[in-house]
Structure 1
Amino acid sequence: MRIPLIAGNWKMNGSLALLEDFGNAFARTESLSKAIEIVIIPPFPYLANADEAFEGTLVQIGAQTLYSENSGAFTGEVSASMLKEFGVHFVLVGHSERRTLFSEDDAAVLARTRQALEAGITPVLCVGETLEERDAGRIDDIVLGQVAAVLDGLTEAERQKLVIAYEPVWAIGTGRTATPEQAQQVHAAIRARLRTYSESLADDMRLLYGGSMKPSNADELLAQPDIDGGLIGGASLKPEDFIAICHAAG
């Protein structure tokens, strides 16, 4: 039984006031199911405050990225061991914005994944195709290639500790929207690829949908057999919307 996971990625947004609003909103929400996992992923400066704001709630803390080394002369970077000290349980690796804006390739994503695993932090591996790649019919080539680039470099025990998030990059800011059926199709392909490693990996790994999940479409998306949760962007900045999605998952 895969436990649904709802993760809110704030990207470079948020404030101390928003953290307080979220903490208060979750403290007032008593009807959330304990059969789901909830993660808030704020920018680095807010990690300590987030750990305090969500104390006593179901919310866990995640980080948006990490560096591939544990220490050293890497100005501006943050290590897995540092994140661990701030109560971080999850970390994004390979997010589409890290791949495109900061030139992180598959080798860099694998190195970051290994660092997270060594620190006991769950990596959320983000994969997805662009509009050009989708229109060229390269969905499986790109998405499954990104999956294999990381999983092939891990042991079976390490693979079992991952979460994968599918981001249809082509549906972000293009005016085109992924339907639940389109999302399910890619999730099913990822699950089939996992089955080439082992039956248990395919059965147990959680696959999240990262393409503009919101209260109005969460029920339909989460009803798909291979969608086990969401990596939420814009809706994760609104306490009411994010909590509504959590209710849909529970």
Structure 2
Amino acid sequence: MAAVVSTSLNGGAAISSHLTQFSGLRKSFLKLESSNSNSTQSFFQNIDSHLRLASANKGCRSVVTMAGSGKFFVGGNWKCNGTKDSISKLVSDLNSATLESDVDVVVAPPFVYIDQVNNSLSARIEIAAQNSWTGKGGAFTGEISVEQLKDIGCKWVILGHSERRHVIGEDDQFIGKKAAYALSEGLGVIACIGELLEEREAGKTFDVCFKQMNAYAGKFGHTVSPSPPVDAVPSWDKIVIAYEPVWAIGTGKVATPEQAQEVHVALRDWLSKNVSAEVASKTRIIYGGSVNGGNCAELAKQEDIDGFLVGGASLKGPEFATIINSVTSKKVAA
């Protein structure tokens, strides 16, 4: 059994001390304190209880310090970038890279290059799509169905990315329906969540992230959800949660390791309370937002960061390999 490094968020006083340093989080706790004097203490107790549970379930992760029991996960979102030639070069770089074995690696090319990548990329790396429709194909111009993605070899799909939310205009309920359908058809989902800068500064980081999580669980808005929830994910086994603060995506600004850890541990607690302790332990929660070869190691050291969703740096084969291999930052002597 490996030595397990406990999270720095140990107990209410420690978390409260950390939160005073980071804009957008302390205010959420003040709101909780004003509405229920015991809520903050309960929140901390739930986190501590979960972390003890997660630590007890680490038998299969004997050399890696992670709060969850899942395998480290790194995804590369190529977005709307690339040509046949540049992608051929990128695939060649990835095929020749030495990658740590204890990592699930996924890349998401633009739709028009998925077949090219699938036919040339090492089977070591799985293929994801960047979007999918809410149901079977039909008269939906410009959309791609889950069935079509599976037909060309995709194993995953990225849903809820901030660019789909804030540029294309997709809302929580629409994204939740996409995720539910993709999962029902056996496609893994990289489910993105994250707050805008103004939401963080207004103290709404947790409110926004939990609302987006509710949509994946079929709990829309603040109404009581039906049982079972309509359009809820059928199982959490094939979901990876990607926390991507919108203010850090493509801006060069990166959440500090402590900022990211604070949100990740809160998301794991949300899963424990709203789904189950088992799901909270098994579900991987990865970070995205200007991750690169220079900052990945420090981020990876955080116990609740189970990997990364990488944008621009995933277009550079050697740098993406460095990010994948940052799993070594979690390893300790057995």
Amino acid at match of 1:191: R
- Offset at residue 24 of structure 1 (A): 1.7
Match of 1:114 in 2: 180
CA–CA separation in structure 1 for the residues paired with 2:115 and 2:253 = 37
Taking the aligned partners of 1:60 and 1:181, their CA distance within structure 2 comes to 30
Higher deviation after alignment, 169-178 or 118-127 = 169-178
Q: Which residue of 1 aligns with 2:288?
A: 210
Q: Count residues in correspondence.
A: 248
Q: Which amino acid aligns with 2:261?
A: Q
Match of 2:138 in 1: 72
1:11 matched residue in structure 2: 79
Q: Which residue of structure 2 lines up, in the alignment, with residue 52 of structure 1?
A: 119
DSSP-derived class of the 1:158 partner: coil
* Residue equivalent to 2:11: none
Kept after mapping to 1: 8 A contact 2:177/2:232: no
Q: Is 1:238 aligned with 2:238?
A: no
Partner of 2:241: 164
1:242 aligned partner, one-letter code = F
Distance 1:156 1:96, change over 3 A: closer
Alpha-carbon distance in 2 for matches of 1:155, 1:108: 12
Contact 1:19 1:53 in 2 (8 A): no
What's 2:303 paired with?
225
SS in 2 for 1:231: strand
TM-score normalised by the chain length of structure 2? 0.71
Does residue 86 in structure 1 map to residue 152 in structure 2?
yes
| TM-score, normalised relative to structure 1 | 0.94
How far residue 22 of structure 1 moved from its aligned partner, in angstroms, is 2.4
Counterparts in 2 of 1:173-192, with a 5 A limit? 176-192=253-269
- Greater displacement, 211-220 / 167-176: 167-176
Kindly provide the amino acid, as one letter, of the partner of residue 187 in structure 1: H
The match for 2:59 is none
Change (3 A) 1:173 1:34: closer
| Gap regions ≥5 residues in structure 2 | 1-68, 219-228, 329-334
CA distance in 1, matches of 2:252, 2:240: 28
Query: For residue 178 of structure 1, what is the amino acid of its counterpart?
Result: A
Q: Percent of pairs identical after alignment?
A: 40
Q: State the Cα distance separating 1:157 from its structure 2 match.
A: 5.4
Any stretches of 5+ residues in structure 1 without a counterpart?
Answer: none
Residue identity in the other structure for 2:267: I
Identify if the C-alpha distance between structure 1 residues 32 and 209 changes in structure 2 by more than 3 Å, giving closer, same or farther. same
Q: Distance in 1 between matches of 2:101 and 2:254?
A: 31
Change (3 A) 1:20 1:107: same
